[in-house]
Structure 1
Amino acid sequence: MTEQKLQAGYRYQQAFADLSVKKEKAFIPFVMIGDPNAEQSFNIIKALIDAGVDALELGIPFSDPSADGITIQMAALRAIKSDINTDVCIDILAKVREYAPNIPIGLLLYGNLIFARGIDTFYADMAKVGVDSVLIADLPIRESLPFREAAIKHNVAPIFIAPPNANDNTLRDVSSFSKGYTYVLSRAGVTGVDSPVVAQKEISQEESPAHKLINTLNEYNAAPPILGFGISNPQQVKDALDAGASGAISGSAVVKIIETNLNDHKKMLTELTTFVIDMKAATR
């Protein structure tokens, strides 16, 4: 293993380097592990990979996902009703890593899931199955030290959120602590498919909060900024990239396709594939 591969987030570094050579940016979908059940969840993740995503952002179901809108809340409940827990998620993650050895795999989850397992044990377990990064949705950065230490110990990249209302000290900390990439919020609030800030055409890209936020992060040498919240169509991907983002994350729009096709799993995979192809095309 090379020196680079001992660094937390090395798969992200390689992915961004490869994208730069191709003059592309990243498209990253989010889905809930275990939604609607373990078998179909793995099929969904394989379909996303096969359709050409640049990285994965995956959730572990939690009973009180306070940062998420109704679409992702319902995905978590479907998974929980299918008896999905952290152990099952680890099994699925191991299969995903075996299927795609090089794709960056990030987790977006809630702190209680980590506490329940024990902080060090959680990160050790995730490292064993090839998880590259962990973003804790409800973790204030001022309380993040034990999580960051455990993450770095096990070569897992800690990811932090840069919200549009962040003060300068917060942005400096986010830039310093985030490895792999930086999650930039296009707007405040919970997840969903509402129009993000960058898509409001009355605001020029140079004046948009996202553009200003990304400029500040770049000044502080932050990891590549990826814009999320409200990204649901190719134009919004283009708007995110125009604002200076290195890529875009789409969650609720992806999960909505799953929700809409619960009774037709084949159609679900077909629609997910088409969605990814269209969104990825917008990054070129």
Structure 2
Amino acid sequence: MSELKRLFASLAQKNRKALMPFVTAGDPNIASTAAVIRAAHQAGADLCEVGVPYSDPIADGPVIQASYQRALEAGFRLQGVFDLGRDLSADAAMMPRVTMVSYSIIYRMGMAKYVERAKQAGYCGAIVPDLLVEEAAPLSQVCRDAEFDLIQLITPTTTRDRQRRIADLTTGFLYYVSVTGITGERTVLPTNLVDNVSWLREQTDLPVCIGFGISGPETAAQLAPVADGLIVGSAIVRRIADATRSAQQAGQDPTPAAAKIVGEFCRELRQAIDEATVHAAT
């Protein structure tokens, strides 16, 4: 059984919805990224999505695009993601981590080699946003053989037949994109979102996690009853950028400030998700 399958089975037994923060590896540096992930874990996060900076981001809005650019300009290299994973793995109780990575990076390294190196670094899966379902079978098989989860995206415009095909080639969980367009914080989510996710959950045994557009505790609470997990990206990356900027202007190390603000935000999200989940069950 994969690490993600064990995680979601445990969460389901507790009627707990997964809180999954997204952070960009190397923004502002790898040490800060590690500290932020540890703070999120201590604040109640269950699973972390680690973005691998890429010069041509896919579906990422301006906040995450800017974080990728900052990391690359600061000298980020792919090895940094593996170093980060090994650092976090020193804590046996650390929450599971998956990478958000372009298929071009995996393909260039070699599918089996990427999966092997990621596993050795402590990652248990990969979200590959630019992998078409028509081309996903080879990587899906490599991942299944290695018990390394391949997580794929479904969008509001994905046809229902195609959603089923994507689910067949996915393990770990399905990443449901809540809105059309790019990542970013929203205060209003589509009116048909709940119906679409409810339909998808009837088609598969995989957990369905919702990402894109979750701006804070209010939107998280809206979606918690229908989802198995919630992915929060731009709102966290923006807080890291703001804390980093303020610390650097004061001539201070940005790591403590970034970790503190993300920890506080994740506590707020955790409380809102748990309260909404309990309310829906009563």
Normalization by structure 2: what TM-score?
A: 0.89
Q: 2: CA distance between counterparts of 1:176 and 1:196?
A: 31
1:108 alignment partner in structure 2: 100
Q: CA deviation at 1:221?
A: 1.8
- 1:137 aligned residue (129, 134, 138): 129
Q: Check whether the contact 2:57–2:65 (CA below 8 A) recurs between aligned residues.
A: yes
Q: Any unmatched runs of 5+ in structure 1?
A: 5-9
Residue identity opposite 1:280 in structure 2 = R
Q: 2: CA distance between counterparts of 1:113 and 1:196?
A: 34
How many residue pairs match? The answer is: 266
Q: What SS does the corresponding residue of 1:282 show, helix, strand or coil?
A: helix
Residue identity opposite 2:210 in structure 1 = L
Q: What SS does the corresponding residue of 1:213 show, helix, strand or coil?
A: helix
Q: Check whether the contact 1:235–1:282 (CA below 8 A) recurs between aligned residues.
A: yes
Q: CA deviation at 1:58?
A: 0.7
Q: 2: CA distance between counterparts of 1:171 and 1:222?
A: 13
1:169 paired to 2:161: yes
1:60-75 aligned at under 5 Å gives the runs 60-75=52-67
Q: What SS does the corresponding residue of 1:281 show, helix, strand or coil?
A: helix
1:24 paired to 2:7: no
1:276 alignment partner in structure 2: 266
Q: Any unmatched runs of 5+ in structure 2?
A: 248-253, 275-282
Residue identity opposite 2:198 in structure 1 = N
- 2:213 aligned residue (227, 230, 233): 230
- 1:267 aligned residue (244, 254, 257): 257
Q: 2: CA distance between counterparts of 1:155 and 1:196?
A: 37
Normalization by structure 1: what TM-score?
A: 0.88
- Residue range with higher mean Cα deviation, 168-177 or 62-71: 168-177
Runs of 4+ in 1 over 6 A off after TM superposition: none
Q: What SS does the corresponding residue of 1:28 show, helix, strand or coil?
A: strand
The Cα offsets for residues 207-253 of structure 1, whole Å up to 9 and x where unpaired, read as: x2x222222222222411101001011111111123x1111100000
Q: Check whether the contact 1:11–1:102 (CA below 8 A) recurs between aligned residues.
A: no
1:13 alignment partner in structure 2: 5
Q: What SS does the corresponding residue of 1:172 show, helix, strand or coil?
A: helix
2:186 alignment partner in structure 1: 194
Q: CA deviation at 1:101?
A: 4.4
Q: CA deviation at 1:268?
A: 2.1
Superposition CA RMSD, Å: 1.6
- Residue range with higher mean Cα deviation, 94-103 or 126-135: 94-103
Q: Check whether the contact 1:59–1:107 (CA below 8 A) recurs between aligned residues.
A: yes
Residue identity opposite 2:195 in structure 1 = K
